[in-house]
Amino acid sequence: MSLGEGSQVLKITGNSSVYQTLDWGQELVEQVTVVSAISGRPMVGWTVTWRNPDLGVVTSVTDYYGVARVRFIPTTSGPAELTATVGEGIYAQVLSFPFEMSQPREISALIIAQPGTYPGDEVEAQATIISTVSGLPLDNIEVMWEFDGVWLTPTPTDVDGNATVRFRLEASGSKVLTASVRGGEGGWDAAQLLFTVLEDEWVIEELTSTKPIIYQGEQVNAVAKVVTRRHGVAVEKAVVSWSFPSLELSPSNSDAQGFASVEFSPTQLGEYDLTASVSGVTPSSKTMAVKVLDPVTPDHATIQSFVASKNPCSPWEYVTVTASIISTLSKEPMPNREVFMSFDGGAYFPTKTDGAGKVSHTARLATSGSLRWDIKVQNLGGTSQHRQVVVIYK
């Protein structure tokens, strides 16, 4: 198509006011829109000529919307200009797109500025970015970081071309730190560091029990906490070994909070040491004292007998059950001693012995069947006793 003399009817527009700065190897993409200067409607099928020293001279044709596009990768660093022309002669419309192609860059050095060896240690790494052309450091260049398959927060270079990243080591093993930057001669440039994170030693930080003094027959429940030696981080699935005189205790594993527990019932009276330990290059252990007391105190009671006044018996006949409570030590009756009784399967209720160490309860049944009485005494150390009487009615 051509314009007739004196018939300037085209208008070309584009985003020419934006000054683009491209990374080396980055594609430049621009477009213009050609419309009628009279109606404002898109002009379809018009040829737009694009010029740039790296591009040369190329053409594209406007589409249904009056849009023509061009894309290419500049090969010369520094400020440049791309022009778009539509129309001919004095009626030609020209639009200019200024841009700048950055010099190709590279990672000249990747170092560990602050090393770390064990999980929990903080590491500081530094990458230096320079121009491949001049060799000078480049300021405000974004460096991407990846450690052990996880992307870290990107950091920019300073005036000396250095970008710094800090991160904390977690699991042990061989690790890779990768620094990468856009705009290398191949589009990207990357560097890697390989290092090994050693497994930290485990220690027993504490060993506690809610009840370090017990009566014989009761259970000891102890908890040990396993952490790393350097940073005190809880260790999961650590095997904790337990030892206590005259008993063989099984190992236990620590949970996510580092706690491992043990339960056992000492068999001997006296004070003994409970030890929790974890193995390693430097084994660690902690010890706590457990005191086992004799549960048979002056207040310790025994149910000597629990009998019914008549058994069996007839319907409507009253029956009295009587328990005799004596001291376990002296074998003498225990007056005013608290005991607990249950009648016919009901809840236990407290009652006390009389002056002769006895406690009674009376009831009757109107039909054939049975009545049941239960009685128990509670002593220190879990040495409670229980008796039962069942009376038959027929």
Identify the CATH number of the domain in which residue 80 sits: 2.60.40.10
Angle at 92 between CA 86 and CA 95, to 5 degrees: 60
Helix, strand, coil percent content, the chain, rounded in steps of 5: 0, 60, 40
Two tokens, residue 76: 């010369």
Q: Is residue 5 in a domain?
A: no
Q: Which of 267, 293, 319 is the last residue of a domain?
A: 293
Last residue of some domain: 35, 68, 101?
101
The pLDDT assigned to 277 comes to 95
Q: What pLDDT score was predicted for residue 297?
A: 75
3 lies in some domain: no
Q: Check whether residue 271 and residue 255 sit in a common domain.
A: yes
Q: What is the DSSP letter of 23?
A: P
Q: Are residues 95 and 135 in the same domain?
A: no
Domain ranges, residue 180? 105-197
Can you tell me whether residue 91 is helix, strand or coil?
helix
Position 20 in a domain = yes
Q: Is residue 139 in a domain?
A: yes
Give start and end residues of each alpha helix (H) in the chain: none
Domain count of the fold of the chain:
4
Model pLDDT for residues 365-378, shown as the tens digit of each residue: 888 888 888 999 98
Q: Residue 1 falls within a domain, yes or no?
A: no
Residue 373: which residues within 8 A CB-CB, separation 6 or more? 306, 308, 321, 341, 342, 343, 344, 361, 388, 389, 390, 391
Of 206, 204, 207, whose CA–CA distance to 282 is shortest? 204
Is there a domain that residue 357 lies in? yes
Q: Are 193 and 109 members of one domain?
A: yes
What pTM did the predictor assign?
0.54
Is the CB of residue 333 less than 8 Å from the CB of residue 357?
yes
User: Based on the domain organization, do 289 and 322 belong to the same domain?
Assistant: no
Residues 192 and 147 in one domain: yes
Supply the pLDDT for residue 381. Answer: 60
Q: How do residues 77-125 score in pLDDT, each as one tens digit?
A: 899 999 999 988 888 899 999 999 999 999 999 999 888 888 888 999 9
Give residue 206's pLDDT.
95
Q: What is the pLDDT of residue 4?
A: 45
* The pLDDT of residue 220: 92
Per-residue confidence in pLDDT tens, the chain, 394 aa: 444 433 458 889 987 678 889 999 889 999 999 998 888 899 999 999 999 999 999 999 999 999 999 999 999 989 999 999 998 888 889 999 999 999 999 999 999 988 888 888 899 999 999 999 889 999 999 999 999 989 999 999 999 999 999 999 887 888 999 999 999 988 899 999 998 888 888 999 999 998 898 887 788 999 999 998 888 889 899 999 999 998 999 999 999 999 999 999 898 888 999 999 998 767 899 999 999 887 777 778 889 999 999 888 888 889 899 999 998 878 899 899 999 999 888 899 999 999 999 999 998 888 888 888 899 998 876 556 778 778 788 8
Asked, for residue 251, whether it belongs to a domain, the answer is: yes
> Domain check: are 382 and 306 in the same one?
yes
46, 81, 101 - which closes a domain = 101
Residues 336 and 382 in one domain: yes
> Which pLDDT score is estimated for 70?
96
> Within this chain, do residues 343 and 277 fall inside the same structural domain, yes or no?
no
Residue 228 lies in a domain: yes
Altogether, the residues listed in the chain come to a count of 394
Q: What's the number of CA atoms in the CB half-sphere (13 Å) around residue 82?
A: 31
**pLDDT confidence of residue 3:** 44
Is 338 in the same domain as 371? yes
